[in-house]
Amino acid sequence: MALADLSQKLGVDIDSGLLSLALTHRSWAYENGQVPHNERLEFLGDSVLGQAVTVRLFTAHPELDEGALAKRRASVVSTLALAEIARGIGLGRHLLLGRGEDLTGGRDKDSILADTMEAILGATYLSAGPDEATALVLRLVEPLLEDPERYGAAMDPKTSLQELAAHGAMLPPVYSVTSTGPDHDRMFTATVVVGDLAREGMGTSKKHAEMAAALSAWRELSGRA
């Protein structure tokens, strides 16, 4: 039922075995006898995503030069953008994670959510074919493609948040960062405060955590939450 619910949200019929594989993180695979996990599907999905977005931008924006097209593509396929899409469909609750990864907030980690979205695209390509995979990509990224301001926020959320704060006559954003876990697998949590708003973000580095927090705050303040 859970897989059927996810397929319905995605709007495409994906083979249940492939979809389960796409949702299987390596931490779960390791704890369950080194069963297959989703990284090969992620590799395929990355190419499906990149091609679909590239063709869409190229055909829809003949006025943009190569640099502008590359910037827009990078923002739409970025980890932060894909994680935002994943949260929008409630992907986190469907993930198969190892116990340790689950306990440390893996269901809401940008990197895991983004990688899983790419794996789902790979599974769609294999199960439903290239046309359906491309259609799924475009359905998922359309809100980002239609909101040019979000390009800058996805690429450089800290600068975008600072500009938004200045425009609203607020003090500059203030960040604080904590970390957990061993040195080889450390997870960072950043909190940004701007005006009366405080938002958190997580990442595998201080920089990524601050970017995630800044994007969350930017979305709230700009009315795109």
Residue positions annotated with a catalytic role: 46, 118
Q: Was 118 annotated as part of a binding site?
A: yes
β-bridge pairing 187-194 and 174-180: antiparallel
Residue 7 has a CB neighbour count (10 Å cut-off) of 18
Q: How far apart are CA 80 and CA 78, in angstroms?
A: 5
Q: How far apart are CA 3 and CA 170, in angstroms?
A: 44
Q: Was 115 annotated as part of a binding site?
A: yes
- Residue type at 95 in one-letter notation: L
Q: How far apart are CA 9 and CA 183, in angstroms?
A: 38
Q: How far apart are CA 175 and CA 213, in angstroms?
A: 9
Binding residues for Mg(2+): 42, 115, 118
